Structure 1
Amino acid sequence: MVVDITKKVTHIVQIVIQIVTHIVHIVTQTAIQTVTHIVHIVTQIAIQTVTHIVHIVIQIVTHTATHIVNHIAIQDN
């Protein structure tokens, strides 16, 4: 009698452990995918931002250099 109950309880505990293990695995995988996705998005935003800043700096440098060259050319004439 006691042995049967012990076997049944042991079996139930094993099933619960399997279910919990499975849930932990799913949660872990979902967390990894979410973090990976967030890192990807942040990386893309960072790349776009740096690209945009570099583009603006190049425009400013080009504009300033053109202005300086024009100013020198006017003075030479």
Structure 2
Amino acid sequence: MARAAGIPDAVWNMDAGAGAITEAEDAGADLDDARAAAAHTQASTTARYSRGAVGKSRKVATLRIAHRGVKNGA
């Protein structure tokens, strides 16, 4: 089917899943919600598909800044 659609052999079905999981995480979905949407039974499987290192780093930085504000009474 993929060849008939003109999709290169280098693109695997799991690439689409990885893209969807990464996009969901970047949009703010947590890993367990992404796991359920992907129909994975193990969160470790979903984590392997996630390629959103930048989004994860950004989210952690945002949470740390918010925590500092609360801690410092802001």
Shorter-chain TM-score tier: 0.3 to 0.5
TM-score (norm 1): 0.33
Name the structure, 1 or 2, with higher relative contact order (CA <8 Å, separation 6+).
Answer: 2
TM-score (norm 2): 0.34
Name the one with the larger helix percent. Answer: 1
